[in-house]
């Protein structure tokens, strides 16, 4: 499974990238706002740091404007994936941009029907939002499973990029179901290393080591 980091925080990306935990990055207007930086400047810095795809999102609502914005974003770096919303205009833009050889991430997916359309339109990635479905008492993981079945039935090359990840369990469940990618905040990726029994075991080892009176260095 690929790990994309869902942030525009350059320092957080660098820390994970140095450990080999970053296969790509996803950004959106809210994350750019949180970074407090110019979209082109921060996106270029991220693209220079990370070798994998970096999703940069259009903000227009009409297809022709999405295409124009997408082409501008694509000029930032060769590893840009243009992020478009799952609307009819977004699908139109996806088809046009993908036809010109650009990677396209179709975002805000909430149904398998939408995912099927995105694959037909040539999307490189489809981003189903698990957490937001859970928020309205629907099963986000079931959506991932349904998309996996549909894509495998027809050998679609579109990668399932599980988004709106809220917990470590979300990551593990997506891995078991067969999502190609998860995009998660840095805190969730780092939390995957934690376990109460690991902490308990280390505490006991440290106590026993102190009793030996020895030093390694």
Which residues have a catalytic role annotated? Answer: 83
Between the CA of residue 122 and those of 27, 39, 73, 119, 217, what are the distances in Å? 21, 26, 18, 5, 57
Dihedrals phi, psi of 61, to nearest 5 degrees: -110, -20
- The β-bridge relationship of strands 80-85 and 181-184 is unpaired
DSSP 75-118: TS-TTEEEEEESSHHHHHHHHHHHHTT-EEEEEEE-SHHHHHHH
Question: Which residues lie across from 4 on neighbouring strands?
Answer: 24, 183
């Amino acid at each position: 499974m690929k790990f994309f980091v869902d942030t525009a925080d350059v320092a957080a990306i660098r820390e994970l990238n140095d450990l080999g935990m970053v296969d790509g990055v996803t950004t959106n207007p809210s994350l750019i706002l949180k970074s407090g930086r110019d979209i082109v400047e921060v996106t270029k810095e991220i693209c220079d740091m990370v070798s994998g795809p970096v999703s940069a999102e259009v903000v227009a609502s009409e297809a022709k404007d999405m295409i124009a914005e997408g082409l501008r974003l694509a000029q930032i770096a060769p590893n840009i994936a243009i992020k478009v919303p799952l609307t009819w205009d977004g699908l139109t833009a996806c088809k046009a941009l993908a036809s010109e050889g650009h990677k396209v991430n179709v975002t805000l997916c909430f149904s398998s029907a939408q995912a099927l359309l995105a694959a037909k339109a040539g999307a490189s990635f489809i981003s189903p939002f698990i957490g937001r479905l859970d928020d309205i008492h629907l099963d986000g993981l079931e959506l991932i499973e349904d998309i996996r079945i549909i894509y495998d039935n027809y050998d679609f090359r579109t990668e399932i990029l599980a988004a709106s990840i809220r917990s470590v369990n979300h990551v593990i469940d997506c891995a078991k179901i067969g999502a190609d990618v998860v995009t998660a905040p840095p805190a969730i990726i780092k939390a995957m290393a934690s376990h109460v029994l690991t902490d308990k075991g280390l505490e006991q080892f440290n106590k026993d080591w102190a009793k030996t009176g020895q030093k390694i260095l």
